[in-house]
Amino acid sequence: MTQKQKVFVSEYLLDRNAAAAARRCSMDERYAARLLHKPEVKAYIEERMTTLDADRVMQADELLELLSSLGRGVGCTRSVQLAALSQLAKLHVIKSSLDGKEQTTVVIIDDISDPRLLDYDFSYPPRKTPVLPNR
């Protein structure tokens, strides 16, 4: 592939619009459309898309590190911390069920100032709509 074709592919990958990429490269739009059908250009596009996707998509260990950091309350509000802990609990339950281990239910209560919550039934599986006892 020529350098101009590589530049075209780089521009094409920005918005996946061959005509716009051709204009940005000062290339004839019909020629650019034909370029996309060449096997070596198709292969180069696939190669670049694979590396771009790998850079853009967060890996599972990165997600766990981020959620763990937020769950510890590092640089976030209490509500973000609780949301991160909730997501971590869900991930651990999903992983446990995939590993064939017994599922456990984790319930995070931020504020127990409401005495009705002390009598709440947190059994598993939870009801579709939780019902709090009346005072």
Annotated domain spans of the chain: 3-56, 61-119
50-61 pLDDT, tens digit per residue, is: 887 777 777 777
**Backbone phi, psi, residue 90, to 5°:** -60, -45
pLDDT value for 93: 57
Count CA atoms within 13 Å of residue 5 on its CB side: 16
Question: pTM score, two decimals?
Answer: 0.44
Architecture field, domain 3-56: Orthogonal Bundle (1.10)
Tokens describing residue 129: 């709509």
